[in-house]
Structure formats: C-alpha cells, structure tokens
Amino acid sequence: MLRIDNLKYRIGDRVLFDGASAVVNAGHRVGFVGRNGTGKTTLLRLITGALEPEKGTVSVSGRWRIGMTSQEAPSGPQNPVEAVLAADHELTALQREAATATDHARIVEIHERLRDKEAHSAPARAARILDGLGFDHAAQQRPLDTFSGGWRMRVMLAALLFTRPDLLLLDEPTNHLDLEATLWLEEYLRRYSGTVLVVSHERDLLNSVAQKILHLEHAQLKLYQGGYDSFERTRRMQLARDAKLRTRQEAQRAHIEKFVARFRYKATKARQAQSRLKMLERMEPIPEHRDEASVIFRFPDPEPHAPPLFSARDVSVGYDDTPVLERLSLYLDDDDRIALLGANGNGKSTLIRLLAGRLSPMGGTVSAAPKLRVGYFAQHQADELDLAGTPVSELGRRRPGDLPEQIRSQLARFGFSQDRALTTVASLSGGEKARLLFALMTADRPHILLLDEPTNHLDVDSRQALIQAINAFDGAVVIVSHDPHVIKLTANRFWLVADGTVAPFDGDLEDYRDLLLAGSGNGKRDDTADGAASSLQPKNKRDQRRRAAAQRKALAPLRRDLEQAERKVEQLTARKAELDAAMVAPDLYDDGGEKAVAMRRDLRAVTRDLAEAEARWLQLQEQWEIAQAA
C-alpha cells in the first residue's frame, strides 16, 4: 500500500503540505485532483523519492516497483518498438545475458525468468500499446528522431505502460494525446491490475477509471469514494453541512460570550461564567471554506448572419502542392456545433486552418458569407504572445481603436481581474494564457469559433466554464478536443477526418468509442468501420438538423427566463444567508432593538421572495425539461 503520514513540505515560503495524510490500498485506481499549482506533481515526486519531505513520511510496500510519467521525451535512432522494449531494463539485461551465458544452471534460471516475464510476446505487447496510442505499423518502424515532441511523449507513456509497474503514477497523461488515444488509455487503465494514481483534469477519465478521488486542498489530503462526479456531489454536501454547523456554532459562541461579558464579575454567576469560558476554549472552530473565485467565460454574441456561413465543394487543401484532404464538400450554419473526430495526423488542424482562412484551397470552390468574422484558437498561438507585455497591452495591440474600458471589459469576460490584467504574460499560468487567447480571438465578436484543443492547461472548473460559454454562444462552433466530456456536452454534429477526406459521422461519441475499441483503428476507417458508421445514419439527417435548429431557436426565450430565474434564486439565497448571520451578531440589540426589528422585517421579505423565486425556477425548469423531451 501507499501510505502518507503527517506530511509537511514547502517550496520557499509556500507550504504545499502541512500534516497531510492518506492511504491508498493495493490494486486501487485513484484520481488525484486539486487546483493548479497546489502541489500534485510535487507529491508524485515525493512518492518516487525524488524529493524528501520536510516532516512526516511517504512509504510504499518494499516489493513495489514504481513507474511515473516523465517530462523528457525519448530520442535517438531506435524506433518506437525498440524504445518501448528497452524500458524494461531487466528484460533487456536477461536477453543480453542469455546470448552469452555458458553456465547451465544460470541459463536455466535466465530462461525461467524470461518465461515469467512473457519475453516471447513482449514485442507484440509493445506494438499493441503503441497502436493504441496512435502509432500504426509504419510509424512503429520509423526512428524516434523523425517524430515531433508530442509523439515522442507518447512513446514515453507507452514505455511506462509496457513495464507494468506495481504503482503507476500518471501526471496529466492525456496532454499529448488525441481523442482516440485518450479513449484507448481510459479502457487500458480500467483493466490495469496494479495500483494507479493519476493526476488529471479529464472528468470522463476520472469517472470511468478512478475508484476513489484524492483531493488536495489547503495543504491537506482527503480521500473520497467513487469517481469525480461522486466526489463533487459529496464535497458539495459536506461544504453545505459545514456552513450550517458554522452558523450554528457562531450563534452559540456569541450567546456564551454575551453571558460571560454580562456575569463574569458578579459573585453569584462567576462560577457559571468561568465554566462557559472553558466551554469556549474547548469549542473547536469549524473553518470557513475559502476557495478561489470561479472562472467564468463569456463569448460575446455575434451580429445575426444569414446561413450558410461557410461552404466548400469538391475542395482539396494541403501544403507544398501536396494535398492532405481532398473531395471536401461541407457547409456551416450559424447554429452548428461540430466536433472533428479522427487521429492526429489525419488532417483535423488542416481543416481548421482552411475554415479560418489560414490555408487557401488547391482546388474546388470555397464560399464564405460576406463580412464573416472567424475566431481561431490554437495552443501554438501562445508562442506568439509578447512575454514582456500584459493582457491589456496584448489586446490593445490587436484592437488599437478600442477604449480602455472596452479592453478591460473584454478581459473581464475571461476572468482577468484588474491586477491580473496588468501582470506580464511571462508570469501568467498556462490556464491564464489560454484564457487570454480566448479574449483575443473573440474581441471582434466572431460568427464562427474554431477551437483546436482549447482545454489544454485548463482545470476541471475552467473546462466546465468553457462548456457553458460554448453552449451560450449564438454563433457556430467547430471543436477539436481530446476531452470526451467537453465534446459530449457541446457538439451536436460530428465530422470524421480520415482517409484523406472529411465525412459526416452520424453516430454519437459512444458509437465512435465502440468502433475504435472494436478494432477500426485510431480514426482510420476500414470497411467494417464505414459499414458500422453508415448503419447509424438517420435517413433524413438534414431535416433532423433543421428541426433541432428550429427547436433551439424556439427554446431560446425559455432558456433565458430559466437563467434569469436561477440567478435571482442565487442572489436571494446569498442575501438570506447574510441576514441569517447578522441576526446572531452580539451587538444586534445595542441600539435598543430597532436594528433587529428592521432586520427581521427584511428577513421575512427576503424569505417570501426566495420562496416565490424558487417556485418560479422550478416551474421553468419543468417547462424546459418537457420542451427538451418533446
């Protein structure tokens, strides 16, 4: 088992762990979550022994082999299969010794150990893992030095999985994966026989793989049963319960303090007052939950535009006179939500660049609506930011005609406070840089959002905010993401990029997952996959999309009413909580009770308004559910 006892560790003046303890039993798969920068990677390094704790212990079973993802990509002339096989140092050493050993007893011992390690099937097992992570047979034979850094990081992950450590430590393992490899890794980890501790912001991965969630917050560790959704529900209930207990305790404390202040110097009550003072000393305070402010994204809605926004007919596109995609015939309406499926290297980013106007077609016809504005997000754009600049100066450089108030307002849409808006870009976290790119790409109110892996560097809360912003946006969206949760909650159409072209995929994400796991490859369709996909297609798909668009338009007023009602309930709930807390304040009656009378009157009015607002919200919620089911 993995045991963490009374752990204390700091970096400079910042305390990451202060008396933290947790136990992970053998064979359990645990998701490790917490805000960015709180110390998750540090704990993994403490577990491996790369760091020493200031106080306390981190221990694992003496016989356990520990394996952890690395930040360094492998390189060299060897191919991916050779690199993966070489990661098992014992296997490599045994095979080398078997070729030269002469002592009969030692030869028998070597071959018994090679049999235990299933050496005969090792190359096939390495190839299967690499195939799951996106390397086809041809790619498995290429030298590592011919691959990009992201693909070589996949080889690192494959090598780690191949060694089958007893304790597998994964730090954001999907960062360099596409959707297809992410789905494969999910399934692989669910069947993993060892102990797994995975740091991830992927909600679907944490729900399907993790049996428990280890939460790091305020330098403490707490273990929750179930996946991420279960953790979130349990934690929300605990915070609500603690808030009620704290209010009750504060009222009790105020009552006791008032008694002591009134009677501690009266001889007849002195003993009782002293008793109550001791009671106060023994009363363990319930700490108030302090969390970072929630991140909110708001994409500004574009001006209305007649569809289609974009269309292509028999288009070819590529680089250096070599087409990557051919026979493209597609269109975009103003309310489309399209996710691109297909393995990395099949041409998803090429298609995005065509839609963005960054690539010109080699042939065919492309038509864009007049005065069409396109917002394009790609992670590599972070490299184009001026590290010495600030969010204000970066947006001002791109929008020289905007007033300072307009620039501040746009940055505020993406969670930049006044201070952070004046922080140098070099000092921003990866998540903040991503939010700055969102602010830059939407400043001119685009009609189409093109999002190429927008969730990299975003934590779970930020991803949820992104989902809400996409769903509230009134224009078209085309998204590439390795996060299945984001795709499932934002996309209503799928395009499959494979075999040098783009075609509609009319199943849902679960259908696509089934095709991949059935052996159709990482988005590279074979005859079986084409047949399965075509069997999923409704006969009148275009009519179905039109009906769905009409339904969304008809439901828009109801959705706005529901959102307004929900905000009103939240505001009144917060106001009632303020009044409840004020009603138990020790100085409430210092003015003879006039303030208390007025406050009780306000509390009655707020309670009445809240009941009416909740009834209104429930009524609208019921209407919304009925309308969606229709």
Domains and CATH numbers, the chain: 1-65+165-291 (3.40.50.300), 72-162 (no CATH), 310-504 (3.40.50.300), 540-630 (1.10.287)
Q: pLDDT at residue 532 above 60?
A: no
Using CA atoms, how far apart are residues 455 and 457, in angstroms rounded to an integer?
Answer: 6
Q: Are 454 and 479 a contacting pair, CB within 8 Å?
A: yes
DSSP secondary structure string for all residues of 548-569? HHHHHHHHHHHHHHHHHHHHHH
Q: Are strands 448-452 and 476-480 parallel, antiparallel or unpaired?
A: parallel
In percent, the amount of the chain with pLDDT more than 90 equals 40
pLDDT at 239 over 70: yes
| Predicted model pTM | 0.69
Residues 6+ apart with CB under 8 A from 429: 36, 37, 457
Give the start-end residues of each E strand in 205-295.
212-217, 220-225
Residue type, 116: D
Q: Which residue has the higher pLDDT, 227 or 261?
A: 227
Reduced 3-state DSSP string for 50-75: CCCCCEEEEEECCCCCEEECCCCCCC
Average pLDDT, integer, range 240-259: 74
pLDDT at 540 over 50: no
- Asked whether the beta carbons of 198 and 228 are under 8 A apart, the reply is no
CA nearest 437: which of 253, 561, 448, 449? Answer: 449
**What are 118-150's pLDDT values in tens digits?**
888 889 999 999 999 999 899 999 999 998 888
Residue type at position 414: F
**Average pLDDT value over all residues in the chain:** 84
Residue 370, CB-side half-sphere exposure with 13 Å CA sphere: 1
Q: Is 420 exposed, middle or buried (0-12, 13-18, 19+ CB in 10 A)?
A: middle
What is the 8-class DSSP label of residue 517? I
What DSSP state is assigned to residue 212?
A: E
Q: Which residues of 213-251 are buried (b: 16+ CB within 10 A; e: fewer)?
A: bbbbeebebbebebbbebbbeebeeeeeeeeeebbeebb
pLDDT at residue 65 above 50?
Answer: yes
Sign, CA torsion 550/551/555/559: negative
Closest CA to 114 of 130, 97, 139: 97
**E strand spans, 151-199:** 167-171, 195-199
Check residue 584 and give its pLDDT.
Answer: 67
Question: How many C-beta neighbours within 10 Å does residue 24 have?
Answer: 22
Report the interhelical angle of 89-98 vs 104-116 (nearest 10°): 140
Q: What is the pLDDT of residues 187-205, one digit of tens each?
A: 999 999 999 999 999 999 9
Look at residue 546 and tell me whether its pLDDT is greater than 70.
no
Distance CA 615, CA 620 (A): 9
CA angle in degrees (0–180, nearest 5) for 600-601-603: 60
Side chain identity at residue 323, one-letter code: P
- DSSP lists the bridge partners of residue 496 as 341, 503
Confidence of residue 497 (pLDDT cuts 50, 70, 90): very high
What tens digit of pLDDT does each residue of 268-309 get? 566 666 676 666 666 666 566 555 555 678 888 898 888 889
Q: State the Rg of the chain over Cα.
A: 29
Q: What is the pLDDT of residues 309-346, one digit of tens each?
A: 999 999 999 998 899 999 999 989 888 999 999 888 88
Task: Pick the closest to residue 470 from 485, 456, 443, 489 (CA basis).
Answer: 489
Residue 543 pLDDT greater than 80, yes or no: no
Residue 136 and residue 522: Cα distance in Å, rounded? Answer: 9
When pLDDT is averaged across residues 574-580 and rounded to a whole number, the result is 80
Q: With a cut of 90, say whether residue 19 has pLDDT above it.
A: yes
